[in-house]
Amino acid sequence: MEELLALARKVSEASEVYVVSSEETPVRFEANRLKSVQSRESVVVALRLIKNGRTGYAVSTGLDNRQGLLKSSVDTAEFGIEAKFEFPGFQKYPAVRVHDKVVLSVPIEDMIKLGELMIERVRRHNPDILCSGSVVKSLYRVKIMNSSGGKADYELTSFGVGLEGTLVRGTDMLFVGDYESSCHPIDIESVVATVKRQLEWAKNQAEIETKTMPVIFTSDGVASTLLAPLMSAFNGKTVLQGASPLCGRVGEVVFDKKLTLYDDTTIPYRPGSRPCDDEGVPSQKTPLVLGGKVMGFLYDLQTAALAKTKSTGNGERGRGSLPQPSPGAFIISEGKTSLAEMIRDIKEGILIENVMGAEMGNILCGDFSGNVLLGYRIEKGEIAGRVKDTMVFGNVYELLKDIAGIGSDGKWVASSLFTPSIYCPKLSVATK
């Protein structure tokens, strides 16, 4: 990295080398059986430089061909975007704990047993279900070095367990599932409990009418329905382009006062956390919504410079691509209402766990619509059964302007979203 940086400094005004290496061991199951055990390693090397005021960029899978990487980066600078940012110099990074050596020592045999036990316990509840799943352990090492004297070097471990089940009853297909991850080794209790609860609630089928009615989104329901418009709205690049509905509304109460939302990549032992972002900017907690009031947006170095503000430490690279503003750990604060209390409050409504295709709406405007892949009718304060052939549609800003309750059941969905259940008084529901 030092040699590559030295070469780049000779032909550019500023430069940066980014290297991420990964070791991943996924144990996968299909049709209730072990399907595969793999171990794979990868390395991504990215060189970004500023030449004649423009950004040049190139990616490789190793540091062997440094001259070739340099040439490609210099060549792209001729057509690159105008660089408005400066690479950060020496930084003090927060001590964010994201590495647990115990993860690396978990034997493959134990991972296989964990997956088999997960499937066995779900099938004990319903022998007819066809399960696929995974138990995955990973190690990531990130190194960043730039010509301004900035340096970062950290390791992150990840351990995840997931299960998807399909239950076929005649022409009907039921899809259930859950996933948990951490920087620590984790057990299967939460995943098994969630899938069993889904199977129990979906045991009966219930009819539902086409009309506007109260809705409860579980944590997974929030993720599959409301997340995409919110992430887009708080993306500094979208704001800079004037495409976010929240543009120019900092300090304004846009959402219900019960809603508080922030990004925090300093939370210990979460796979979305880190001491710095992929540009070497220190991690921080960034308020986005406080008591319904818009507080700010997420920026990387380039978008922050264009917006005449500072990076929030949210520059993220997908497989070594150019940094883009992206949430690290998107967090909706918990409320004080239990899911059971929300359900008891509804005479007639719907509880949503998974919507398919919601992101196909006009995300920039906050619109969503999609098929309810997994949802239930609520009748007289109880789950009456699973709904079929049902669509929901609405606008995230209208929906979150009036919130009846926020749950005390916050949960990490995948690795980068923490959200409780959210209860809204009305949502448009359509059925055949």
Half-sphere exposure of 365 (CA within 13 A, CB side): 8
**Are the C-beta atoms of residues 423 and 214 closer than 8 Å to each other?**
yes
Above 80 in pLDDT, residue 253? yes
Q: Name the average pLDDT for the chain.
A: 95
Predicted confidence at residue 359, as pLDDT, reads 75
Query: 10 — phi, psi (to 5°)?
Result: -70, -25
Amino acid 321: pLDDT: 87
Q: How many of the other CB atoms lie within 10 Å of CB of 251?
A: 9
The residues of the chain that CATH labels 3.30.2290.10 are 2-198
The pLDDT value recorded for residue 319 is: 78
Residue type at 109 in one-letter notation? E
Q: Which residue has the higher pLDDT, 358 or 114?
A: 114
Q: And the tokens for 345?
A: 């409050």
pLDDT tens digits, one per residue of 55-64: 999 999 999 9
Residue 169 has pLDDT above 90, yes or no: no
Per the rule left: phi > 0, alpha: psi between -120 and 50, beta: everything else, 99 is beta
Split at pLDDT 50, 70, 90, the class of 133 is very high
Instruction: Average the pLDDT over 261-289 and give the result.
Output: 97
pLDDT by residue (tens digit) across 192-217?
Answer: 999 999 999 999 999 999 999 999 99
Q: What is the structure's pLDDT at 357?
A: 86
Bridge-based pairing of strands 211-217 and 348-356 is parallel
User: pLDDT tens, 363-408?
Assistant: 889 999 999 999 999 999 999 999 999 999 999 999 999 999 999 9
* CATH 3.30.379.10 for domain 2-198: no
Q: Which of 247, 264, 248 is nearest to 312 (CA)?
A: 264
pLDDT attached to residue 170: 82
Residue 171 has pLDDT above 90, yes or no: no
- Tens digit of pLDDT for each residue in 56-114? 999 999 999 999 999 999 999 999 999 999 999 999 999 999 999 999 999 999 999 99
| pLDDT at 275 (0 to 100) | 97
Instruction: Kindly tell me the sign of the dihedral angle through the C-alpha atoms of 402, 408, 411, 416.
Output: positive
- The values of phi and psi at residue 52, to 5°, are 55, 35
- Distance between CA 233 and CA 392 in Å, rounded? 21
pLDDT confidence bin for 282, thresholds 50/70/90: very high
pLDDT band of residue 362 (cuts 50, 70, 90) is confident
**Percent over 90 (pLDDT), the chain:** 95
Q: Which residue has the tokens 């259930």?
A: 176
Q: Does residue 36 carry a pLDDT above 90?
A: yes
Residue 320 has pLDDT above 80, yes or no: no
Contacts of 272 (CB under 8 A, 6+ apart): 265, 327, 328, 329, 415, 416
The pTM for the full model equals 0.93
Residue 299, pLDDT above cutoff 80: yes
